[in-house]
Amino acid sequence: MKITNFFVDMTHLPAFFEVRDKFVNTKAPPASTAIQVGRLAREGALFEVEAVAVIPGKAAKRPARKKRR
């Protein structure tokens, strides 16, 4: 899992972590990045979260490549 967090004010980071930590394994948290931005697309929004995850057993398997001659 990888999470990218966009904040209009980085002082909200501690409150964000307090809530996030209720939903993730805090002993092995997901990779994450926090970025401060001037504003978000939704007027009045304080933060936005983008997450990418793979569900075990559901990941698409690539077919084997044919060897080139």
Domain boundaries, given as residue ranges, for the chain: 2-52
CATH hierarchy code of domain 2-52: 3.30.1330.40
Each residue's pLDDT tens digit, 20-64: 999 999 999 999 999 999 999 999 999 999 999 888 886 666 666
**Which pTM value belongs to this model?**
0.72
Residue 67 has pLDDT above 90, yes or no: no
d(CA 69, CA 49): 46
Residue 69 has pLDDT above 80, yes or no: no
- Other residues' Cβ atoms within 10 Å of the Cβ of residue 5: 20
Beta-sheet pairing, 47-52 with 31-36: unpaired
pLDDT of residue 54: 86
DSSP 4: E
pLDDT of residue 52: 92
**Collapsed DSSP state (helix, strand, coil) of residue 17:** helix
Q: Cα-flanking dihedrals φ and ψ of residue 60, to 5°? A: -65, 135
